Structure 1
Amino acid sequence: MTRTLRGAIALAGATALCLGAVATGGAAQPAVSSAAQGDVKIGLLLPESKTTRYEKFDRPYIEAKIKELVPGAHIDYYNAAESATTQQQQVNTALAKGDKVLILDAVDAKSIQSSVQKAHDAGVKVVAYDRLAQGPVDAYVSYDNYKVGQLQGKALLSALGDKARTGEIVMQNGSPTDPNAAQFKAGAHSVLDGKVKIGKEYDTPNWDPNNANQQMSGAISALGKDNIVGVYSANDGLAAGISTALQAAGMHVPLTGQDAQLDAIQRILVGTQTITVQKPYKAEADIAATMAVDLAQGKPVPSDLTPTTATSGSGQKVPATLLTPVVVDKGNIKDTVVKDGMYTVNEICTPAYASACKTAGLQ
């Protein structure tokens, strides 16, 4: 009995409903025996905690959905703290513990391939989460990452207006070991190339905000602050470091981001960041958990949960769900991150942001 895509994303908000067309009508789930529940052993491997989403949203959402589907399920949790070597060791630990399925968000999509192969050879299924690991992955859930880059590029061009023809931008694209970063970058370039001059462009290992800050400071020194009209930042963590460098130089230029972090929403309110891109995490988490439970119970992943395919860096074509992101700016905070339950108005509108919240209509 299949669990439908609509069922998996029902609580995630309207921003993910673009996939409703591929969903089918659902039916009540059969009771799961105690023996079957005991067989559901899932390893959850997340890449880092500097990006706030993983501990605040992804982990609790995934664990809650697994427990909703199978109350007696056993979950082993690991965070690699940005270390590809640590994550490989964690996969070994999960296999030794007898986990039947791994939900894997790879630190380094390429170097983890041998671990994915090891899991496959041991009969353990792998659900790639958010980042598509190389190797024989069984299912994948993420967002249309090329579209993310396009949305960021379009928002930056819109914010620049006529200034796009008068100066240069800086691009900071994220970690070279993250395949999503390459897709963000490609999507952004598809919009920006030929319409604005790119003065400096950087990859930022491990998505480190401190490195982003140093890179932005270097770009300001090299290009001159009066020549920089905007900054493409691939995510909000980088944007935090970039924003600090811009403010230190007395600069106020359009700045993009992604992940809808709380601090990014607050920067948008006060004008030190222009937009972020929201990826409703509950939809992604619910689908990953549903895929993992099915696989742990020896069932195939329902086709309505994998309406497309994605090709990994090692050439495998993986059944996939790619959700659609949404741009968040000062004008739609209430209708996006607040409406979708990511943050309350009180969480956003602390005393330092109270005036900006009133101006934006949040209070």
Structure 2
Amino acid sequence: MKIGLLLPESKTARYEAFDRPLFESKLKSLGDYEIVYANADQDAAKQQQQAESALTQGVKVLVLDPVDAAAAASIVSEASAQNVPVISYDRLVTSKDLAYYISFDNEKVGELQGTALVDKLKADNTTTGIIMINGSPTDGNAALFKKGALSVIDPSGIPILASYDTPDWSPDKAQEWAAGQITQFGSQISGVYAANDGTAGGAIAALKAAGVTPIPPVTGQDAELAAIQRIVAGDQYMTVYKAIKQEAEQAAVLASKLASGETLTGDTTVDGTQATLLTPVVVTVDNIKDTVVKDGFYTIDEICTPDYAAACKTAGLE
């Protein structure tokens, strides 16, 4: 039996490193399944073609993480016309015909990021201004991250100096934009809201290139290995860890059940679709061992390479 898995891009490290292999491994443990896989490389038209190919190959279920939430509605329509249920994975497709939606509470992700940043800036008494580097304008989750963050930042009284929606979640574009803001605002920038670890890396590269010291607190999301190492080194303040293993494996179980003809009931509904929303967790230097290491997401050895050995020792990661 064939199950389709369509992921949106590879600039964010998690998809190829975690989501795909975890999903495939779990699904294969559940039965004799063939996985039809494709990555759209941030191209909505390409994803449409990949979906059509998967349907032509006879997939019984489609697990879809959309490049463009609105454009992907046509994929759901085509699948529904062929009685192929679609699980919206990680990002919500703008469609009423979905069979299920599994993700994290994405507005909560933004709230966690905003709260961590505001609390840090107030504790350090550095509240002159924040620049916001948001996610891709075609990613529905990015709007939720921003909404959640603004729900904390706006009432804080800390001014937002400038805000940017990063095309394709591109670290390079985030870096380029951040460099311009550093030139314009200089030391007024007391904090950086970055929607994920890739854009955080771009912002930090711009800050370092401009000789900014100390680097102001920078947020992130996805708990990428490079981000965890930046947190250990003191270059990035925090990230949001999402238990991708749980998300990917649950998606595989849901796909298997749908392939067997079961009707799914979620813990909640989102826009009328049955859904499971998993809980995100803030990671700072203080709880790396109790989160990503404890869950087996990374080992101490993976984090504490020679370049980070001294910082790891200081952080108690030994």
Whether 2:172 is the aligned partner of 1:214: answer no
User: Which residue number corresponds to residue 93 of structure 2?
Assistant: 133
User: Which residue number corresponds to residue 288 of structure 2?
Assistant: 333
User: Which residue number corresponds to residue 181 of structure 1?
Assistant: 142
Corresponding pairs, count: 314
CA distance 1:169–1:163, shift in 2 (3 Å): farther
Report the AA paired with residue 289 of structure 1: A
SS in 2 for 1:285: helix
User: Which residue number corresponds to residue 160 of structure 2?
Assistant: 198
Whether 2:120 is the aligned partner of 1:159: answer yes
Whether 2:237 is the aligned partner of 1:274: answer yes
Is the contact between residue 121 and residue 127 of structure 2 (CA under 8 Å) also seen in structure 1? no
Q: Deviations over 1:311-340 (max 9, x none)?
A: 1xxxxx110000000000001101100111
Distance (whole Å) between structure 1 residues aligned to residue 168 and residue 314 of structure 2: 36
Shift of 1:194: 3.0
Shift of 1:347: 0.5
Q: Deviations over 1:17-67 (max 9, x none)?
A: xxxxxxxxxxxxxxxxxxxxxxx3100000011111001110011011111
Is the contact between residue 116 and residue 134 of structure 1 (CA under 8 Å) also seen in structure 2? no
CA distance 1:275–1:166, shift in 2 (3 Å): closer
Shift of 1:162: 5.3
User: Which residue number corresponds to residue 54 of structure 1?
Assistant: 15
SS in 2 for 1:133: coil
Greater relative CO, 1 or 2 (CA 8 Å, sep 6+): 1
Distance (whole Å) between structure 1 residues aligned to residue 48 and residue 183 of structure 2: 39
Report the AA paired with residue 335 of structure 1: D
Distance (whole Å) between structure 2 residues aligned to residue 91 and residue 46 of structure 1: 11
TM-score normalised by structure 2 residue count: 0.97
Whether 2:246 is the aligned partner of 1:286: answer no
Is the contact between residue 163 and residue 229 of structure 1 (CA under 8 Å) also seen in structure 2? no
Report the AA paired with residue 300 of structure 2: V
SS in 1 for 2:155: coil
Q: Deviations over 1:181-205 (max 9, x none)?
A: 0000000000000321000000001
CA distance 1:164–1:142, shift in 2 (3 Å): farther
Whether 2:289 is the aligned partner of 1:342: answer no
Alignment of 1:228-267 (within 5 A): 228-251=189-212, 252-267=215-230
Distance (whole Å) between structure 2 residues aligned to residue 213 and residue 226 of structure 1: 17
CA distance 1:164–1:144, shift in 2 (3 Å): farther
Whether 2:71 is the aligned partner of 1:108: answer no
Structure 2 unaligned runs (5+)? none
Whether 2:311 is the aligned partner of 1:356: answer yes
Distance (whole Å) between structure 2 residues aligned to residue 106 and residue 166 of structure 1: 37
Report the AA paired with residue 295 of structure 1: L
Is the contact between residue 126 and residue 190 of structure 2 (CA under 8 Å) also seen in structure 1? no
> RMSD of aligned C-alpha atoms?
1.0
Q: Deviations over 1:121-173 (max 9, x none)?
A: 11111000000112211101000001000000010012112566741110011
Shift of 1:245: 0.3
User: Which residue number corresponds to residue 63 of structure 1?
Assistant: 24
Q: Which runs of 4+ in 1 moved over 3 A?
A: 162-166
